[in-house]
Structure 1
Amino acid sequence: RAHDSTGSRHADLHLLDLPWEDVLVPQIFSYLPLRHILSLQRVSKPFQSLVQLYLANCRCFDSTQLGSQLPRSAFCNMLKDNAVLQRLDLRSCSDWLTDKELLPIIGQNHHLLHINLNSCVQLSRQSLVAVSLSCPHLQNICLGHCEWVDCLSLRSLSDHCKGLEALDLTACRQVKDDAICYLVKKSKRLKSLSLAVNANISDVAVEETAKNCRDLEHLDLTGCLRVKNESIRTLAEYCSKLKSLKVKHCHNVTESSLGILRKREVSIDVEPPLQRALVLLQDVVGFAPFINLQI
C-alpha cells in the first residue's frame, strides 16, 4: 500500500499495475526461466495476457528450458504472434517437430541469428530452404543428425546466408564434397564447421574449406574416414587462426600432419603417439614409468 508525503494512503498497487512493455517484460520477465513464466498463465486472465505479450516480444526461445514434454499445440500457440526472434533452439521438440509447425515461425521471423535443429529428423529440405529465404542474417545453425539435409538445400543456405559463422553438419550423410566446396566459397566468414561422421567427406572438401575460410577456428572431422594427411597440412598452411581440430577415428590422419598444428598449440582430440602409449601402459600396469629418452 503506497503513501504520499503527508502520510495519506493511496489505492493498492499491484505488480500488473507496472507498465507491461516498458518494465515487466524487459526488466523482470527477461530474467525468469521460461517454464516459470508459462506457469503464470494459470494465475489469472490478466497474467495470461501478460505472458502472451512476453512470448510475442521475446528474442530468444529455448525449448530445452521446458524439457522434452512440450506439447505440439502449446508450442504453436506460444510463438504464433512472434516476429522478432533472434535465437531459436528446438532440440527438445525433435520427437514431433515437422515442417508444418516450423515453417510458419520461420516465415515470420526474418531477424533470426541462431537456430538449433539438432536431431529434428522429421523435418525436410523444405525447412532449410525456408530458413535460407527468410533469415538472411543467419550466423549460426546446427543441423546435426538431420539426414534430410541434402546438397540442394545446403546450396540454398550457401546462396542466401552469406554471413554464416558456425555450421554443424554432423552426420548429415547426404552431404558430399561438392556441396561443401560450394558452401565454403560463399561462406568465407565461417569460424566453426562440423563435418563429423560423414564417410562422403574427403580431402577435397577439407582443402577447399582451408583455402576459403581463413578465419576458421574450430573444425570437426570426427569419423571422416576419407580425410588424409594432405588436407590437414593444407589446413595448417591456410588457417592460422585454428584453435581446435577433431580427427578421432580418422585413420589416415597421422602425427606427420598433426604435429605441425600441435606446435601452434592447436587443441587436437587425438593424443601424440608417445602419450597414447604411456596412457595404454598405465592402464595395463597401473602406473606410468619414468622413461629416459636420449636422441
Structure 2
Amino acid sequence: MYSTRDRERKEGDRIQEKTRYIILQGGVNRFVAGAALQVPSPLLKVFILADLRGNSGLQGGACLPGWSPLDLAAMAGWYHAQQQQHFYGAPSNYPPCCPPSSKRRKLEKTEELLYTTRLRRGPVTFRPYSDSLGNTSQALESRPERSRTRKSHLNLDCSPSILENGECSSSYRAERAPEELGTHVGHLFPEVLTLIFEYLDIQSKGRVARVCSRWRDAVYRKSVWRKVEARLHLNRPNTTLFPSLVKRGITRVQVLSLRKSLRELVNGIPNLESLNLSGCYNLSDSALDGAFNKDLPNIKRLNLSLCKEVNDNSLGRIATHCKNLEELDLGGCTKITNTGLLLVSWGLKNIKRLNLRSCRSISDHGLGHLSGLDSQPSESLLELGLQDCQKITDESLRHLSEGIPNLRKINLSFCVSVTDTGMKSLAKLGSLQSLNLRSCDNVSDIGIGFLAEGGNRPLTELDVSFCNNVSDASLKHVASGMSKLQSLSMTTCPVQNDGISRISKSLPGLRTLNVGQCISLTDVALESLSTHCHSLEKLDLYGCSKITSKGLESLKKCPKLANINLNL
C-alpha cells in the first residue's frame, strides 16, 4: 500500500515527465508547458516559457497567482541543467504522452490563464545581458509603458553557475520598472555638468541655474564663474545678492548705478579683487571714505573713471588701504591734482597701470612726483595714460625717462605741448613697446628720427595719426630703426607711395597698417604691400580716393589679410 505522500510524489514524477515530453515535441519558437496542481508539493506548480532555438538560457517566465519566485527559479534551474547535459534529445527517450486526464485539463486551463494574463498585462520577456566580468547573466523584465507606472515588477537574478546545479537565488525585490537605458543629461555627474556650463555665456549660466537643483549646484561652482565680472545696479538693498556672488566665487564687480552705500558692497564681498565704478557720477568723496575705511589687501583693479567727485583725499584713502593695487583708472577725474599723484607714488608701490586721461590739472610737477622727484619713484609702473593732459610738456617726459625706466606703454595723444625734444627723452626708455602720439601737432620727422636712433628698437606699436608734420622721411627712419614694428597708424599723414614701399620691405612682421585719408597713395603702394607684407592682417584705406579695384585685387597675395576698411 502506498501512502498519500508516496502517491503525490509518484504523480508529480509522471507530470514532470509528461511536461518534458511536451516541451521537446513542440517544434516552435516558444511553447508553454506547466501544471498547477492544488497539492502541497511546490514541485508540482510548474511554469516555463522556453525558447528551444536559442542558446542564451531562460527566455521567458511569468508570475501567476500562488506561484512564488522559488517555484520559478527551481523550474528554471531544472531546464537549464537538462539543456547543459543534453538530456533532451530524441522524443524516443521519453515515455509517450498519456491520454488526456484531469491533470491534463488542469494543464490546459493553466495555459488559458497564461494567455489571458498576457493579453491583459502585455508580453513579459526577459532580456539577458552580461555584467562587467562578462560571465554573468541577469534577467531584466520589460513591460509596455502603460503597465510600468501601475505596478512594481519582479526581478530575478540567476547566474549560469547556479542554474547548472539546478538551483537559483530566491532573493527578489519589488522595484519600479527601469527607465530606458542610454546617456541623458540628467544622468551626468555634477563635475561633467560643471565642465559643460563653463562654455556658456553669462546669461545662459543664469538660466540653467533655474532649471533644477542639480543644475543650480553645478553651475554655482567657482570654476564656472572664473574671470566673470558681475554688473550690478545698487539702487536698493538686496540681502541675498552679495552672498550669492561670494558662493560663486565672483571677485570682479562693475557698478552700473549707485544710490546706496558703497560700504555694503565692499563689506559683502570680502575677497573683492576688481571694482569698476566707471560712470558713477554721484559717487562722492564721503562714500569712498565710508567704503575704504579698512585695509583691502585683495583689491588689485580699481576703475574710478568719470567719477567727477573723486579728489586728492579719495586717492589718499585708496593709497592707505589698498596697498596691493595694480591698476588704477582715474580718467576724467578733473579734481585730481599733482598732490594726488604724490599720494599714489607714496602708497601704491605695486602699481602697474595708471590712467590719467583728461586729468587737466596735472602738470609736469605731478609727473615729477610719480617719477621720484620728491619721493621714491613708481618703478613698478609699466603703462601710463596721459591722453588729453594739456599741461604735460617735454619736461614730464624727461622725468619719466629718468625715474621710470621700465615703462612699456605710454599714451600722449592730444598732448599738444609735447615736441621733438620730448621724443629724444622717450628714446632713452629701452623697454618702450607702445607709443601713441596721435594729434601731437608739434611732433615731426625729426622726433621720429630720435625714436629710431640706435636701430633695432623694441617698439611694436606706433600711432602718429593726424600729425601733419610726419611724412615719408619718418617712414625712412621707421624702416631703418624699428624693424619689430607690428602696428603702424598714419591716418591723414602726407605719406607717398615711396614711403609705403620702403616700410613694406623693412617690416616683415607688420600686421596692422592704418593709412586712411592718405590721399596720395595709389595702387603702387598696395602692390608693394602684397609682395612683401605676408603677415598683414588689417588694412585701413578709407578716404584713399586713388585706390582702384586693380590695387585691391593685388591684395589677394596677402594670405592672412582678414580686414580691409574702405569706408568711414
Do the structures match in fold with TM over 0.5?
yes
Provide closer, same or farther for how the CA distance between residues 49 and 112 of structure 1 changes in structure 2, counting only shifts above 3 A. Answer: closer
> Is 2:463 aligned against 1:223?
no
State the alpha-carbon separation in 1 of the partners of residues 448 and 411 from structure 2. Answer: 15
In the TM superposition, residue 102 of structure 1 has moved relative to its aligned partner by 3.9
> Is 2:384 aligned against 1:141?
yes
> Is 2:507 aligned against 1:268?
no
The correspondence of residues 126-165 of structure 1 with structure 2, limited to 5 A, is 126-133=365-372, 134-165=377-408
Residue number among 416, 434, 438 corresponding to 1:196 in the alignment: 438
Aligned length: 259
State the alpha-carbon separation in 2 of the partners of residues 292 and 89 from structure 1. Answer: 41
In the TM superposition, residue 110 of structure 1 has moved relative to its aligned partner by 2.0
Structure 1 counterpart of 2:263: 41
In the TM superposition, residue 191 of structure 1 has moved relative to its aligned partner by 0.8
State the alpha-carbon separation in 2 of the partners of residues 125 and 102 from structure 1. Answer: 11
In the TM superposition, residue 78 of structure 1 has moved relative to its aligned partner by 4.6
Q: Give the gaps of 5 or more residues in structure 2.
A: 1-239, 272-290, 527-540, 554-568
70-79 vs 99-108, which moves further:
70-79
Letter in 1 for 2:522: P
Structure 1 counterpart of 2:358: 119
Q: 1:22-67 deviations in whole A, cap 9, x for unaligned?
A: xx7xx946x23053999562489x6599864564542221224xx5
In the TM superposition, residue 82 of structure 1 has moved relative to its aligned partner by 2.3
Secondary structure of 2:366 counterpart: helix
In the TM superposition, residue 151 of structure 1 has moved relative to its aligned partner by 1.6
State the alpha-carbon separation in 1 of the partners of residues 462 and 315 from structure 2. Answer: 34
> Is 2:414 aligned against 1:171?
yes
State the alpha-carbon separation in 2 of the partners of residues 278 and 153 from structure 1. Answer: 36
Q: Give the gaps of 5 or more residues in structure 1.
A: 1-14, 19-23, 283-287
218-227 vs 203-212, which moves further:
203-212
TM-score by length of 1: 0.73
Residue number among 338, 343, 357 corresponding to 1:99 in the alignment: 338
Tell me how large the CA RMSD over aligned residues is: 3.7
Structure 1 counterpart of 2:115: none
Letter in 1 for 2:442: N
Between Structure 1 and Structure 2, the one with more strand by share is: 2
In the TM superposition, residue 262 of structure 1 has moved relative to its aligned partner by 3.8
State the alpha-carbon separation in 2 of the partners of residues 292 and 151 from structure 1. Answer: 42
State the alpha-carbon separation in 2 of the partners of residues 175 and 290 from structure 1. Answer: 41
Provide closer, same or farther for how the CA distance between residues 101 and 260 of structure 1 changes in structure 2, counting only shifts above 3 A. Answer: same
Do the aligned residues in 1 keep the contact of 2:344 with 2:370 (CA within 8 Å)? no
> Is 2:303 aligned against 1:62?
yes
Do the aligned residues in 1 keep the contact of 2:342 with 2:369 (CA within 8 Å)? yes
Secondary structure of 1:259 counterpart: helix
Residue number among 280, 302, 327 corresponding to 1:87 in the alignment: 327
Do the aligned residues in 2 keep the contact of 1:80 with 1:105 (CA within 8 Å)? no
State the alpha-carbon separation in 1 of the partners of residues 468 and 550 from structure 2. Answer: 35
State the alpha-carbon separation in 1 of the partners of residues 543 and 440 from structure 2. Answer: 31
State the alpha-carbon separation in 1 of the partners of residues 481 and 492 from structure 2. Answer: 24
238-247 vs 73-82, which moves further:
73-82
Provide closer, same or farther for how the CA distance between residues 143 and 290 of structure 1 changes in structure 2, counting only shifts above 3 A. Answer: closer
Structure 2 counterpart of 1:258: 500
Q: Give me the identity figure in percent.
A: 23
Q: 1:168-221 deviations in whole A, cap 9, x for unaligned?
A: 11111111111211221x202111001121221111111121234611111011
Q: 1:52-91 deviations in whole A, cap 9, x for unaligned?
A: 4564542221224xx5466546665455422222211111
Q: 1:217-268 deviations in whole A, cap 9, x for unaligned?
A: 11011111111212212211222211111111212x2221123334534422
